[in-house]
Amino acid sequence: MNIFIFILNTPLYSQVQTDSLLWKVEKNGCYSVKSAYRVCVEDVVNNAHLRKPGYWSGIWRLKVPPRVKKLVWRVCRECFPTRVRLISRGVNCPSACVKCEDPHEDCYHIFFHCRTAIDVWNTANVWHLIAPSLSQFDNAPDIIFNLLQKLSASQMESIVTIMWSIWKSRNLKLWQQVSESSVTILERAKHLLEGWRKANHKQGLLGQVHSPTNSRPQTHDSQNTDNRYGNIRWRKPKSGRLKCNVDASFSTSSNKVGIGMCIRDSEGNHVRSKTMWFSPLCPVNIGEALGLYHATRWINELQLTNVDFEVDSKTIADYFNKARGDNTEFGSIMENTIQFCNIFLTNSHVEFTRRQANEVAHELAKAATLGPSFHIFDESPTCISDLIFNEMI
Of 138, 172, 198, the position where a domain reaches its end is 198
Same domain for 57 and 139, yes or no, is: yes
Give the structural domain span for 66.
52-198
Does one domain contain both 241 and 374?
A: yes
Tell me the C-alpha distance between 156 and 160, whole Å. 6
Q: Does residue 213 lie within any of the structural domains? A: no
Q: Identify the CATH number of the domain in which residue 296 sits.
A: 3.30.420.10
pTM, 2 dp:
0.58
- Whether residue 20 is contained in a domain is answered as no
* 3-state DSSP assignment of residue 191: helix
Alpha-carbon distance of 173 to 165, in angstroms, equals 12
Rg (C-alpha) for the chain, rounded Å, is 30
Is residue 207 included in any domain, yes or no? no
Residues 381 and 241 reside in one and the same domain: yes
**CB distance 282 to 257 below 8 Å:** yes
User: What are the distances in angstroms from CA 286 to CA 48, 104, 220, 329?
Assistant: 37, 61, 23, 7
Q: What is the pLDDT along the chain (393 residues), one digit of tens a residue?
A: 577 777 766 667 777 767 777 787 888 788 888 888 888 877 766 666 666 778 899 999 999 999 999 999 999 999 999 999 999 999 999 999 999 999 999 999 999 999 999 999 999 999 999 999 999 999 999 999 999 999 999 999 999 999 999 999 999 999 999 999 999 999 999 999 999 999 988 766 555 554 444 433 333 444 444 444 457 899 999 999 999 999 999 999 999 999 999 999 999 999 999 999 998 889 999 999 999 999 999 999 999 989 999 999 999 999 999 877 787 888 889 999 999 999 999 999 999 999 999 999 999 999 998 888 789 999 999 999 999 999 988
Q: Are 210 and 219 in contact (CB under 8 A)?
A: no
Is the bond preceding residue 6 a cis peptide, omega within 30 degrees?
no
